[in-house]
Structure 1
């Protein structure tokens, strides 16, 4: 995070409020879009801009299937979503939503795969041998 400022407590708190409101709304299947039919969408994170007017919403469809298609559909319907979700979050300004695929699951999988690799296992075994002496 070189040079990137950490979010304030207020940004984190509002982001969590928006995340809960969006999760609740998306679970109700109210968006009429063929690309969203039957899509179970999780919202792992919402990052708010410092002025709270922009919400970067990270989503992942169940099983990770069609993630890019689902994100495109949500971005097509973001004004409708904003209108439906805004009354439940009680902010001075309704934030604009921008949807993105949450790739932290992929990153965790890559790290897990690395940790299970033969090379890392060999290094760990080697470290254990050094400590036994």
Structure 2
């Protein structure tokens, strides 16, 4: 069977679909407190996104504790401690040839969103958004360059 090589086009539909299935499965497992660890079960964790490698053998899971209930490093450490059991749950729920290796990373989406909001609140950006397009020389736009 020929292997398909991707040339920087982003994730395939299969990668996206498997990543979303893994995200839902992990969210359900954490929500139902199926892992037997009181520390992990006491911490509400949001699974924001899961991105899979092209061969679907590695899944990077982006997580964040809800409402800052705990440091993100602590949540990642707890999840990494139970990586084998979480991987087993994923393998049981999904019909994949290989259960992917899970790698946990902090979800920085909300931080980027806050930075974007801060940039949009900047007066210079607000002026650009408002569309102050008056020419510098004082001539109106609609008559500039006409030879009537």
Q: Same fold (TM over 0.5)?
A: yes
Q: Secondary structure at the match of 2:36?
A: coil
Aligned to 1:15: 19
Larger RCO, structures 1/2 (Cα 8 Å, 6+ apart): 1
Structure 1 length-normalised TM: 0.84
Higher alpha-carbon Rg = 2
Runs of 5+ in structure 1 lacking a partner? none
Runs of 5+ in structure 2 lacking a partner? 1-6, 142-148
Moved over 3 A (4+): 32-35, 122-125
CA RMSD of superposed structures (Å): 2.2
- Alpha-carbon shift at residue 93 of structure 1 (Å): 0.8
CA distance in 2 between counterparts of 1:109 and 1:117 reads 13
Name the structure with the higher helix share: 1
Cα-to-partner distance string for 1:62-107 (whole Å, 9 max, x where unaligned): 1144111101110111011111221101111111111111101100
Aligned to 2:52: 48
Q: How many residues align structurally?
A: 130
CA distance in 1 between counterparts of 2:74 and 2:17 reads 29
Aligned to 2:64: 60
